[in-house]
């Protein structure tokens, strides 16, 4: 049994979070791979070969990455059957203004609703302000937004807001959930050619037949 964290990142913070989740899930007994849709072609990934999936995207201009949306649409039936989770990475979630935090949550919820995806677990994580990686215009724009939200505003350094304890908790809790979804093995017919391939893990594992 293997799981995968599929993620989209622009300046690398979602990647760090994805790697940390994969490490935490692996430590929790669920060997987990990672896949970056911004660097690799998602159509080449055999998502159906995994028993559990985590999808993650950062927010840019109030949007989650369309490649993650595409992946959800392509694998909707599979994602409804296996343990699946979603996380959103943003700065709105650490704003001192209540309305910004509510907006970050609303955008994550709306994204899932639009894609008709109800993950077993979801989370909104705080991202990073990486002035060193922005071009001139983006730097000024982010600086202006940071000032509005009372975030640090020194342009000559980067700021990380991710709470790694929250990320670790998410990973270990999801790994436990995956274990709880383990199906009881059903008796298989004697002859190989009459056997149906069966997933070991399903969110419907404990549902009555």
Ligand X SMILES: Cc1cc2nc3c(=O)[nH]c(=O)nc-3n(C[C@H](O)[C@H](O)[C@H](O)COP(=O)(O)O)c2cc1C
Interface residue list for ligand X (CB under 6 A): 9-14, 58-62, 89-92, 104, 127-129, 138, 142
- Alpha-carbon distance of 132 to 158, in angstroms, equals 6
Query: For ligand X, which is the closer residue by CB, 45 or 108?
Result: 108
Query: For ligand X, which is the closer residue by CB, 9 or 32?
Result: 9
- Alpha-carbon distance of 67 to 146, in angstroms, equals 27
Q: Which residue is nearest to ligand X (CB)?
A: 127
- Alpha-carbon distance of 64 to 70, in angstroms, equals 11
- Alpha-carbon distance of 186 to 196, in angstroms, equals 11
- Alpha-carbon distance of 158 to 10, in angstroms, equals 15
Query: For ligand X, which is the closer residue by CB, 104 or 175?
Result: 104
Query: For ligand X, which is the closer residue by CB, 14 or 32?
Result: 14
CB of 107 to ligand X, least distance (A): 7
Question: Residues of 68-80 as b/e, b for ≥16 C-beta within 10 angstroms?
Answer: bbebbeebeeebe
CB of 32 to ligand X, least distance (A): 18
CB of 61 to ligand X, least distance (A): 5
Count of other CB atoms within 10 angstroms of residue 89 = 31
Query: For ligand X, which is the closer residue by CB, 123 or 203?
Result: 123
CB of 164 to ligand X, least distance (A): 14
């Amino acid at each position: 049994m293997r799981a995968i964290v599929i993620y989209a990142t622009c300046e690398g913070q979602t990647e760090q979070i994805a790697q940390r989740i994969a490490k935490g899930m692996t430590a929790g007994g669920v060997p987990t791979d990672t896949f970056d849709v911004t660097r690799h072609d998602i159509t080449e990934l055999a998502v159906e070969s995994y028993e559990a999936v985590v999808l993650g995207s950062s927010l840019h201009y109030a949007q989650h990455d369309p490649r993650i949306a595409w992946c959800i649409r392509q694998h909707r039936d599979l994602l409804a059957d296996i343990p699946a989770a979603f996380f959103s990475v943003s700065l709105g979630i650490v704003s001192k203004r209540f309305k910004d935090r509510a907006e970050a949550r609303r955008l994550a919820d709306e994204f899932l609703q639009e894609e008709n995806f109800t993950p077993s677990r979801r989370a909104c994580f705080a991202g990073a302000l990486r002035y060193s990686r922005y071009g001139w215009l983006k730097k000024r724009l982010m600086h202006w937004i940071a000032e509005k939200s009372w975030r640090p505003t020194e342009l000559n350094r980067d700021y990380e807001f991710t709470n790694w304890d929250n990320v670790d908790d998410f990973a270990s809790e999801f790994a436990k959930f995956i274990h709880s979804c383990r199906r009881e093995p059903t008796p298989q017919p004697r002859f190989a050619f009459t056997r149906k391939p069966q997933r070991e893990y399903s969110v419907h594992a404990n549902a009555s037949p």
